[in-house]
Structure formats: C-alpha cells, structure tokens
A and B are shown apart, each in its own frame.
Chain A
Amino acid sequence: MISSRTLVAIAGAGAFIVWLLYATGGLVYLYAVSQVFFATSRMEREIREIDALGRANPKFARGLDVQGADDGDRKKAGYVALSYGDKLHENRSVSVQTSVRLDDLLDAGETLPEPTLLKAFVQARAARLGDGECKLLEQALASRCVVRMSNGEPDTRGLARISMTLGFVQKSPFGALPSGPRAAYVETDEAIGGQRPVRNSLSGLPDARARAYAEIAALCDKLRVSQGNCAITRVMVAASPDPTGSAAEFSARATLSSLMALDG
C-alpha cells in the first residue's frame, strides 16, 4: 500500500522533472525527437510500400518456374501487375495525352471564366475528363477504374492540353496458367490502329480512344484464345493537335502480358 505522503512525493518529483524539462527546453527537445521518430517511421513505411511495388504476389503462379520475369534483382513491372490481376496496381495504367477545345469543357449555360481563373478552370475540368475517360475504359476493358492523376493547361489556341493517368482492373479474366512446370513471361508492345498516327478531328478524339480501348481488349481476347492467357499492362494514347488546333494526330499503344508454357 502506497501512503499518501509517498504519492505526494512522487507527484512532486514528476512535476519537478516536467518543470526542469520545460525550463531547459527539454520538452521542445522531446517533441523534436518524437517528430524525428514519427517521420522516420513514416519514411520506413513508404520505403516498404515502394519496395512492395517491385515484388510479385507470392500467391500467384505458385509452383510455376517463370522465366523472363526478372528485371535485375526485381520482377518486371508488368509481371508484378499481372500477379495482382484482381487489384488496382500502380504498374497497370492507362496514360492519356489529349487536347480539347476550352468551350467543350463548359457545362450548358456556362461561359469561360476570366483569364486569371482559366488555369484553375482547366485543372478542375481535367478531373472531370478523367472520370469520363474511366467510363470509356469500363465500357471496353476495365471492371474498375480510378483517376490517379489529371492535369490540364490552357494554351494560346483556345485549347486545353490534358494529361491523365488511370489505374484499372481488367474486365476479362487473365485466363489459364500454363500447367508447368516452366513458363515464360512475355510482354508484347502493340501499336493500335496501325504504326502511324491517324489524323482526327478534336471532337472525334474520345471516339478514337474508345475504339482503341475496344481494339486492345479484342487483341488481348485473341491472345487469350491462342496462348491461354493475356493481361493488359499498360496503355498509352496520345493526340497532338496541329497548329490550327482543329485536328490532331492520334496514336495508341498497348503492352500485353502473358505466360506461355515452356513444357509439352
């Protein structure tokens, strides 16, 4: 049993230590030390997360000797994305570079803001375009889509240059894994709609992208039939407007991944 005098003495000693720390700047020191500790913990966590990006899902293709998936001491980005096929993964993305007329960013009844607010306006509407792009992706090849990044910048031709990065989960299943014991990881980079950029009107660019996404999905389906499996790893679509700003050169590329049997 602790006596009340002992309690008072302990409380007094505690108060003295706090006062001493305060008087000597010790509390500030302890605060600084705790901040450093928490910052270090945060950094360690972030480093672990970044590190995890380079590691494949250990549950994927268990028992299969996959060759061609290594990139130095890590796995290839596409293979890592493939191994997490049912989840959104940083290594699986669609990048879009395009231009739209500023007027086409307006809602019904809206007018363009004054010049000083134009950049904010384009940035805000770029996010909305990202949402719209996700819908296009979900129609063609994605079961889930998120806007990771969207950026917009007005130019002097009355256009907005838009760039966005979308994350997605593929709609079609990957397919069957090779029965083993060995398989080769194969990435193919495909030019969609031909090797050369195609001239399009600005207003026709969303349709051009929708067609490209559908073509990529069809290409992957075809590979799945012939090779047993296919995953869409990366899609890049770009449109460069001509000097008049009325039309653009459109191009699209896709990286498809598959695991091919090396035995029997």
Chain B
Amino acid sequence: MRALGVSMLAGLSLSLAACGGDVPSGNPADEVGRELRGYRAPPGVMMGADEKPYWVQSAIKGFRPVKDGDVPGSLVQREGIGGCAFTRPAENEVVATVMVDDSLVDSPVYILSRRLVGDRAENLINVLKANGKTVVASDVTGDSLNVVDVAVTERSKPVYLVLASGGGLLFNVHLAPGARVSRVAVIGGRTMAVANLDPATPVEFLTGDAGAACGATPMRIPADHWSFVRNAREAGGSLDDVLERNYAMQRQWAQWFRDSFGVDSEPGASGAATTAHVLAGPMPASSKERATYRPLKGATVLISRADYIVAGSRQDYRKLNSELVRTAATEAAGGDLAALRPTGG
C-alpha cells in the first residue's frame, strides 16, 4: 500500500516536472498532511525552515525521483565520534539544522542487522518445522534506507550542516551555486548516511544507542498540529503524562543540541516528520540560484556502522538477505536444515 502510494506520488511528481520541466503549479501546502509527530509531505514537496512547504523543483534544478538503478558508486562506513561531543561550529560558519524522521522514498541502499537476521532465521526454522517449507522473510521497503534530498542554498557563510533523524535516513546533498558545506554532523536513531559531499568535507556521526546514551535523540517541539498532541488534548487528561514525557525528551534534546552546537535546535530547523526533500537555507530568488540535483547513482555514500549493508538492486538485496538468513538458520540447526522438516503424522 505504502509502495503503491509512493509510486503514484513519485510518478505524479515526475510527470509534473516533465510537463514544464520545472516548478509544478498549485500550492504545495495543499499536499501536506498531518501525522502523529508533525507534517507529512509527499515526494515532490520540499519542507523548509519551520515546516514551510515548497515544490522541490523550486530549489533543485534537474530534480528527478530516485530510481531503482541509482546505485551509489561506493559506500564508506564511518565510525561514530566515540563520545557525545561534535566539533563545535567555528565563528565563520552558520549552522543549518535538518530534522526529518522519515521519508517515503526508498533508496537502493539496504541495511540488515544481526538481530533482524536472527529473527528471520528463527522464523525460517519455525515454518520449516511446522510445514517443511523453507521461507525466507524479507522487507525490501523496510530494509531500504529512505532518502531525503537536502538543498543547501545558504551562501552567506560556510554551512555547518546538522542532519538529524529519530530513525535512519540517507541524506543526499545538493548545493546551490556559491553555497559551501564546511562540516557535517549526522545524528540518528539508527543507521544514517550522507551522499554527494565534497570528499574533503569533515563528517561526524553519532547514531543508534551511542546517540541515545548522550541524550541526542532528535525531536521537534510538540506542536498543536501534531495528531499526537491533538489526541492528548482530546483525551481529557489521560495522556497528559505521555505528553509531558515528550516535552521532557524534547527539552533534553534541545539542551544537548545547544551545548553541542551553540545554537538552538528550533526555531529555524528545516524538515518535517516525514518528507523526502528539505531546503537548508533561503528559497532561491531565481532559477539560476537553485541547487543542482545530483543523483545517488555513482555517488560516494558515507554511512554509519551497520552489521550488513548492500548497495544494489532489489535482487541484490534479496540475495544477500536470503544468504544471511539461510546461513544463520543452518548454523542454528547444526549444519543440516533438512533435519528440521517434520517427519509426518
């Protein structure tokens, strides 16, 4: 269902772009919906500072939806910072904060954890024991790292880009003429990645449990348009403690952010709860000032540590997933999976 929706929206965006090769007509705000923790922008709608929507083509020249064949040229795994402190922004840098929890666009980069492989091996064994069939569970959408395009249009100073997510995302960076990313901090609840940076740009990661241990769990200030906040208000006080816990978590994040980067996380952060495109900087005044789209195809992707990563087609993902799960299940069975088949009766 989600894949169908994404395909339709991506197709819509593509056709809109193809029509004039440029910015679609209509108000992008009309396309934005609400979800538990903020706004949900469909592919094609870009979210700027403080959740303001634009058409992605307004800020990115040559934009096109990600295709299955957009396989990155190289994946470079990077260790985390080994503590809680990122490099502080310099005087001449401007901090641009991007906060997105999810995107509806899959990438051809897939992540598998040992825990997931273990769960699927257990599942395979249970099914094999019950009916003798060897079935390997897979989740091509769930295991894909979702992509967020980041158009950097800030030209007044070198940009210290802070890319934050409560989940795990791949940020694809597109620069406007005259814009420069001087440093990148990547903070996420799970595996995070960033593509199309200048190889000389310093990039630091703080992800997963290491981030949570630092209190670095990205979270926007709960706002009235969040469904969760509305639900809590309509619940007659029964969700007040849950709401307060969310405020407390956000305060912890805000404090950590201020201590780390010397600026407030909000207002001014770009993004939304769910969006596939973010504007980091002002909306370009003319089409010439737009960022140039850079596809994932052939790009270098810096990625935080994960147990298994594959950049490739869906078939490549299924092959790796199947190999890992079967190997784990065979090992669990002591080398002979067939021995687990039921004997009849």
Contacts and interface: CB of A to CB of B under 8 A. Distances in A.
A127 B118 contact: no
Interface in A64-118: 88, 107, 110, 113-114, 116-118
Residue with the greatest number of chain A CB neighbours at <10 A, chosen from B115, B130, B331, B343: B343
B345 interface: yes
Interface in B299-343: 328-329, 331-334, 339-340, 342-343
A119 interface: yes
Interface residues of B, number: 25
Contacts of B334: 107, 110, 124-125, 128
B186 interface: no
Interface stretch (B36-44, B102-110, B121-129, B246-254): B121-129
What is the interface of chain B mostly: helix, strand, loop, or mixed?
helix
Contact of B122 (A114, A120, A128): A120
A167 B259 CA distance: 65
B340 A117 contact: no
B345 A148 contact: yes
A174 interface: no
A131 B146 CA distance: 45
A123 B343 contact: no
B117 interface: yes
A247 B114 CA distance: 33
Given A110-B334, A113-B331, A127-B339, A88 B345 contact: yes
Given A125-B334, A127-B129, A127-B339, A120 B345 contact: no
Given A124-B340, A146-B344, A117 B126 contact: no
Contacts of B117: 116-117
Contacts of B329: 120, 124
Contacts of B119: 119-120
B129 A120 contact: no
Given A116-B118, A119-B122, A123-B125, A128 B331 contact: no
B131 to A, nearest CB: 12
B214 to A, nearest CB: 24
A147 interface: yes
A150 interface: yes
Contact of A124 (B130, B333, B343): B333
Q: Which one of B114, B117, B339, B345 has the highest number of Cβ atoms from chain A below 10 Å of its Cβ?
A: B345
Contacts, number: 69
A123 B122 contact: yes
Contacts of A149: 129-130
A120 B121 contact: yes
A250 interface: no
Contacts of A127: 125, 129, 333, 339-340
A163 to B, nearest CB: 13
Contacts of A213: none
B344 to A, nearest CB: 6
Contacts of B340: 124, 127
B121 to A, nearest CB: 4
Nearest to B117: A116
A84 to B, nearest CB: 12
A120 B343 contact: no
Contacts of A150: 129
Contacts of B343: 131, 146-147
A117 B332 contact: yes
Contacts of A167: 345
A88 B119 CA distance: 33
Given A110-B334, A113-B332, A114-B114, A120 B125 contact: yes
29 contacts: A110-B334, A113-B332, A114-B114, A116-B117, A117-B114, A117-B117, A117-B121, A117-B328, A117-B332, A119-B118, A119-B122, A120-B118, A120-B119, A120-B121, A120-B124, A120-B125, A123-B332, A125-B334, A127-B125, A127-B339, A127-B340, A128-B334, A128-B339, A146-B343, A146-B344, A146-B345, A147-B342, A147-B343, A148-B342
Interface of A: 88, 107, 110, 113-114, 116-121, 123-125, 127-128, 131, 144, 146-150, 167
Interface of B: 113-115, 117-119, 121-122, 124-126, 129-130, 328-329, 331-334, 339-340, 342-345
Per CB-CB distance, the 4 closest pairs between chain A and chain B, nearest first, are: A146-B345, A116-B118, A120-B121, A120-B122
Given A117-B121, A131-B343, A150-B129, 8 more contacts: A116-B113, A120-B122, A123-B129, A124-B125, A124-B340, A127-B333, A148-B345, A167-B345
